[in-house]
A and B are shown apart, each in its own frame.
Chain A
Amino acid sequence: MYMNEPCSTTNPIKNLHKFAMKTDTERAAQDEGPPPPPPPLFGDILELTLTRVPLVDLVSASQVSRSWKRAVSSSLRHLNPIRPWLLVHSQSTRTPYAISTRAFDPRSSVWLDISLPQPAKHASTLRSSSSSNLLFILSPSKLSFSSDPLHLTWRHAAPPLVWRADPIVALVGHRLVVAGGAFDFDDDPLAVETYDLRAGAWEACGSTMPALLKDSSASAWLSVTADEDKMYVTDKLSGVTHSYDPEADAWHGPYDLRPHRDVYCCVIGFASGRLILVGLLGCEENVKGVKAWEVERGTWRAREIGEMPPGMVRKMKGERFCASSMSACGAGDFVYLNRDSDPGTAVWCEVVGGGDCRWGRAESPAASGGRGPAERVVFTSSNVGMSELKQALATGDPRNVIRST
């Protein structure tokens, strides 16, 4: 065909033109009826187009053909990478206490409704711990928890030896730490218990929990986070922080992390391997600013890494930001700042490069964003990738499992 034709260097364009014409005629000769097919999308144009396709649709796109699969993974790796999702779980306070989940994907700025398997009929409240994306339900008869990115699998364990209401719970490495909470008796020696995921059994810990943390309702007044080795607990109002090492069964602290006297609420989370403290300045009714600090774990010094742009702070005007309703959850490079009374807004601080940060805000479409009157809301965040999405979509009719709002 065209390969045998002399392609002279003086007129390459003329020959290209001939080639285009030839295949058109060839095609026309083969099938007279239907119009010629559109030029195929391939290579860098396909990759560029895929950057604008939400992650959940990339799952279908990657199953179209081998070249599309390559284009999807290349586009995700180089052009528009995966960013951590914010998952908002609302639990109805009436039977059957159903949990519905909405997710925000910052990569494409889309909000999604996700139908996830229910952990089981639970009259107890769903809670989350900002450490490693943990969702748990604690009842007198059992402890159910899930820490995978989309909470597709739940594990059930026997309850801790001492019943407690609203304790500090965190997943530290392969141990689930349960500490504090409200007791029936004062000074219970079993204030801290850990559940070893590998052994599937509870261990009582002999360490003395700091008096400051006893008897406090964790979800309201404490901000909890953890990395692979330690759990960190910060009092939201005072900024006083303690850390607990389950391996050594030792508490450390107190450290006063409040970086500025104007900060009335501190929440902590891990992003990019760093301990980040987000502080709200001003007062509950009138937030003047939001800043982020990186806390150096050896010296416990806080270094300011960024401040929320004034335009975004202005959007917070006229609303109440009570310390008891604020929480943070971190995954990847993101720390999401959440408020219980407003589950339809995602606010985040993305740690970039050498300790700088970028702030973002997204509001879900008006109709579906608000919290129902009889609902309790908790937040988690995680790096949701293609494999987790494929798994989720396989649990039911793909069109119903994950829907954009």
Chain B
Amino acid sequence: MRYLALPLLSQNLTESTARAQTLSLYLQLSLQVSLSQRNESTMSSSSSSLPSCPKKVVTLKSSEGETFEIEEIAALQSKTLENMIDENCADTPIPLPNIKGKILAKVVEYCNKHAEVGVDAESLRAWDAEFVNVENTTVFDYILAANFLEIPTLLDLTCQSVADMIKGKTPAEIEKTFNIKSAFTPEEEEQVRRENQWAFE
């Protein structure tokens, strides 16, 4: 059995630090005990004293059935996914039937980028600007995805980008950009909304 490194307990430690150190010590102890129980004959000579915890991954399924994996820490940016993870519903693939595969891929990319540590604000802003530098139709899809998944930063970014599309335009130009007279009649539009609400209650 490897010797455990005992933390120095000096009188200057605060109570919480002491608790944290005690807990860490306990965890190390219990892990070592379980390890030695399993591999008594083979003593591994790895340098790390703690086994690495497997990163928790959440699987998302797009409307076409494609699956995408996203690390739990990145998924926490979505309030919807965060709630599901808290309620332990995230162990099976989560179906997202109103988000297409290529949009979902980009949204996962966004969450991964924003979950990274040590990225400076300036380069993140530049990355965000590039992210929304796409066709209007794609930006609208991003908005719907961000709204459904409740990702506040992505929603802000995309709404701002759409607001910039509205600025400085006459009503006729806005109609053209947003294709207001779409194939949906007002009744069909209503039905889609109602159907969406009912399906996800």
Residues of A in contact with B (beta carbons under 8 Å apart): 2-3, 12-13, 15-17, 19-20, 23, 26-27, 30, 35-43, 45, 48-54, 57, 60-61, 63-65, 68, 398, 404
Q: How far is the CA of A385 from the CA of B188 in the complex (A)?
A: 34
User: With contacts A30-B183, A37-B182, A60-B171 known, what are 13 further pairs, Cβ within 8 A?
Assistant: A2-B191, A16-B195, A35-B137, A36-B183, A38-B140, A38-B182, A42-B189, A51-B163, A54-B167, A61-B166, A61-B171, A68-B180, A398-B170
Which stretch from B17-25, B113-121, B141-149 is at the chain A interface?
B141-149
Quick one: which of B143, B160, B170, B180 contacts A65, CB cutoff 8 A?
A: B180
Determine the residue in chain A with the shortest Cβ distance to B147: A45
Does any Cβ of A come within 8 Å of B9's Cβ?
no
Do the beta carbons of B155 and A53 come within 8 Å of each other?
no
Which chain B residues (176-201) contact chain A, with CB distance < 8 Å?
A: 178-180, 182-184, 188-189, 191-193, 195-196, 198-199
25 contacts between A and B (CB under 8 A): A17-B97, A35-B137, A36-B183, A37-B182, A37-B183, A39-B140, A39-B141, A39-B144, A40-B178, A40-B189, A42-B189, A45-B147, A48-B159, A49-B159, A49-B162, A49-B166, A51-B163, A60-B174, A64-B171, A64-B174, A64-B178, A64-B180, A65-B180, A68-B180, A404-B168
CA distance A38 to B191 in the complex (A): 17
Q: Once the chains bind, are A16 and B196 in contact (CB under 8 Å)? A: yes
Q: Do residues A17 and B63 form an inter-chain contact, with CB atoms below 8 A?
A: yes
Q: How many residues belonging to B are interface residues under a CB distance threshold of 8 Å? A: 39
The interface residues of chain B lying within 8 Å CB-to-CB of A48 are: 155, 159
> Quick one: which of B147, B159, B169, B193 has the most chain A CB within 10 A?
B159
Q: Which residues of B contact A20 (CB under 8 A)?
A: 63, 97-98
Query: Are A61 and B162 interface neighbours, CB within 8 A?
Result: no
Q: Which of A12, A26, A39, A52 contacts B160 (CB 8 A)?
A: A52
What is the bound-complex CA distance between A60 and B140, given in angstroms? 20
Instruction: A30 to B185: give the CA distance in the assembly, Å.
Output: 15
Q: Tell me, in angstroms, the Cα distance from A16 to B63 when the chains sit together.
A: 10
Q: Is the CB of B199 within 8 A of A40?
A: no
A196 to B143, CA, bound (A): 56
B197 to chain A, nearest CB (A): 11
Is residue B175 within 8 Å, beta carbon to beta carbon, of the partner chain? yes
In the assembled complex, the Cα of A36 lies from the Cα of B182 at a distance in Å of 9
Report, nearest first, the 8 A-B pairs whose CB atoms are least far apart. A52-B163, A38-B137, A12-B199, A63-B171, A37-B179, A37-B182, A49-B159, A53-B163
Chain A's closest residue to B163 (CB) is: A52
CA distance A57 to B143 in the complex (A): 21
C-alpha spacing A350/B137, complex, angstroms: 39
A68 to B174, CA, bound (A): 11
Q: Are A57 and B167 in contact (CB under 8 A)?
A: yes
Judging by beta carbons under 8 Å apart, are B136 and A43 in contact? Answer: no
How distant is the Cα of A361 from the Cα of B42 in the complex, in angstroms? 68
Contact pick for A45, options B97, B143, B174, CB 8 Å: B143
| Dominant SS among interface residues on chain A | helix
Point out the residues of chain A lying under 8 angstroms from B166, CB to CB.
49-50, 53, 57, 60-61
Please determine whether B97 and A13 come into contact, CB atoms closer than 8 angstroms. yes
Residues of chain B within 8 A of A41, CB atoms compared: 140, 143, 162, 178
CA distance A37 to B181 in the complex (A): 9
Interface hits, B92-108 → A, CB 8 Å: 95, 97-98
Closest partner residue, chain A, to B156 (CB atom):
A52
Residues of B within 8 A of A27 (CB): 183
The closest CB in chain A to the CB of B100 belongs to A20
Q: Which residue of B lies closest to A44 (CB)?
A: B147
- The residues of B that contact A68 with a CB separation of less than 8 Å are 180
Contacts of B144 in A (CB 8 A): 39, 45
Query: When the two chains form their complex, are residues A16 and B155 in contact, meaning their CB atoms are under 8 A apart?
Result: no
> Which residue from chain A places its CB closest to the CB of B170 in the assembled complex?
A60
Asked whether, in the complex, the Cβ of A12 is within 8 Å of the Cβ of B198, the reply is yes
Nearest CB in chain B to that of A3: its residue: B191
> B198 to chain A: closest CB distance in Å?
7
In the bound complex, residues from chain A placing their C-beta under 8 Å from that of B195 are 16, 19
Q: CB-CB < 8 A to A65: which residues of B?
A: 175, 180
Cβ distance A73 to chain B, nearest Cβ, rounded Å: 16
Give the Cβ gap from A121 to chain B, nearest Cβ, in Å: 33
| B163–A38 CB distance below 8 A | no
User: Closest chain A residue to B96 by CB distance?
Assistant: A13
Contacts of A45 in B (CB 8 A): 143-144, 147, 159
> 1/0 per residue B62-100: CB within 8 Å of A?
010000000000000000000000000000000101100
Docked Cα-Cα span, A381 to B97, in Å, equals: 50
Q: Which listed residue (A23, A40, A50, A51) contacts B180, Cβ 8 A?
A: A40
Closest partner residue, chain B, to A52 (CB atom): B163
Smallest distance from the beta carbon of A194 to chain B beta carbons, Å?
Answer: 45
List the B side residues contacting A42 at CB < 8 Å.
189, 193
List, in ascending order, chain B residues with CB within 8 A of A51's CB: 159, 163
Distance (whole angstroms) from the CB of A106 to the closest CB of chain B:
17
Q: Note all chain A residues with C-beta closer than 8 A to B178.
A: 38, 40-41, 64
